[in-house]
Amino acid sequence: MYPRRAGSSSDVTTLEPELVPTKAENVIEVEDLHVTFAGRGGGTARAVDGVNLAIPKGEIVALVGESGCGKTTLARTILGLEKPASGVVKFHGKPLEYRNRALKKYRKNVQLVLQDPTGSLNPRHSVYEAVAEGPRTHRMDDEAGRVSRAMAQAGLRPPERFFLRYPHELSGGQRQRVVIAGALALAPEVIVADEPVSSLDASVRGEILALLLKLREELGLTLLVVTHDLGLAWNIADRIVVMYLGRVVEQGPTEEVLSNPQHPYTKALLSVVPEMHAVEQIVLLGEPPDPTKIPSGCRFHPRCPSAFEPCKNISPTILSSVIAVGSEALPHEAACHLVNPPPAESR
């Protein structure tokens, strides 16, 4: 299923995208999702403002964008931690139910790993207790077996050596492995990782990323990685979804999006990655606008270096999530008038 190589299978590519069975293979689907918060001073912050997203089984999807672009809110909504104002989150084709019992069952399958392992671990709980918390909450059998298997999978070997240690006795990388083991103990299908390596040292970063790749390979895990680090996406992700101010502005296979970015925002993000010497830096001014006051037209136009007339009042079409799973034609699309010019009559 990965990595996708163009031209390796020809019969599937001839199918129209809508004919390709998609539902069965997407673990998570998000349709026209809107999440709003009451803003300061009475306004409504539209944190997620019309997002379609599909996460196929066994894929690593990177959700990238600046702080405040809604990527964490989208991830939290996928986990059922926020209730959408409209739109649905589907797990294996079934819409998420927001009753406590249904959510508890759902979260056994979809686990979260956060940025700062020191903050995620209770300093007074031993490693064993931290990893066993999930299986206990869900009243699962064979607790000790699950804990040692999860710890071994997360690279804490031999597990018994770590059982009675406390977080302060571990290095940053080991702590993050404990957090990952805690998620794995429930044998989830999906792990949502919010900036899993950004608080770790450079040397440890590669090791944790290699672990995520290995888990996908060995356990068939599906991963949604929320990050602002395009290098991370290049290292591990099959697909990239770029968000800006509550909407997906570009998505596609990692190689294509990063080697041939279409949207001016993606181009800017890519140009400021310190190692990209070849390209001239496009440093955008300011920060994303307040989500209570989303600009008219294309929401990126006030900061866009290539904005032209239609961008001020015509909103680009929202990108669809019809990802032709199993076909080679994973679309690379961008919500930008430069890429898809708006129809003439609406100008």
**Residues at the interface with other proteins (CB under 8 A):** 3, 66-68, 171-173, 201-210, 213, 228-231, 234-236, 254-255, 258-259, 268-270, 272-277, 281, 283-285, 287
Task: Count H helices and E strands in the chain, helices first.
Answer: 11, 11
Minimum CB separation from other proteins for residue 207, in Å?
4
Closest approach of other proteins to the CB of residue 285, in Å:
8
Q: How far is the CB of 168 from other proteins (least distance, A)?
A: 14
Q: Rounded to the nearest whole angstrom, what is the least distance from the CB of residue 292 to other proteins in the complex? A: 15
CB closer to other proteins, 142 vs 201: 201
- CB-nearer residue toward other proteins: 139 or 277: 277
Strands, sheet with 94-95, edge to edge from the N-terminal-most edge strand: 44-56, 26-38, 86-91, 94-95
Listed residue (90, 112, 107, 113) closest to 27, CA to CA? 90
Q: How many whole angstroms separate alpha carbon 160 and alpha carbon 149?
A: 11
Which residues have CB under 8 Å from 252's CB, separation 6+? 239, 240, 330, 331, 332, 333
CB of 269 to other proteins, least distance (A): 6
Is residue 297 within 8 A of residue 312, CB to CB? The reply is yes
Helix, coil or strand: residue 90: strand
| Nearest residue (CB) to other proteins, 1 versus 272 | 272
Q: Which is nearer to other proteins, 89 or 223 (CB)?
A: 223
Q: Which is nearer to other proteins, 217 or 309 (CB)?
A: 217
Nearer to other proteins, 42 or 343 (CB): 42
Q: Of 44 and 171, which CB lies nearer to other proteins in the complex structure?
A: 171
**Separation of alpha carbons 69 and 291, rounded Å:** 9
Alpha helices in the chain (DSSP H): 71-78, 100-109, 117-120, 127-137, 143-153, 160-163, 172-184, 202-219, 230-236, 254-259, 264-271
Nearest distance in Å: CB 78, other proteins: 21
Kindly state the smallest distance separating residue 202's Cβ from other proteins, in Å: 4
Q: Between the CA atoms of 79, 82, 87 and 93, what dihedral angle is there, to the nearest 10 degrees?
A: 20
Please give the full DSSP string across 264-333, using - where no structure is assigned: HHHHHHHHTSTT--SSPP----S-PPPTTSPPSSSTTGGG-TT--GGGGTPPPPPPP----TTSS----E
158 vs 206, which CB is nearer to other proteins?
206
Quote the least distance from Cβ 259 to other proteins, whole Å: 6
C-alpha closest to that of 239 among 70, 109, 67, 54 = 54
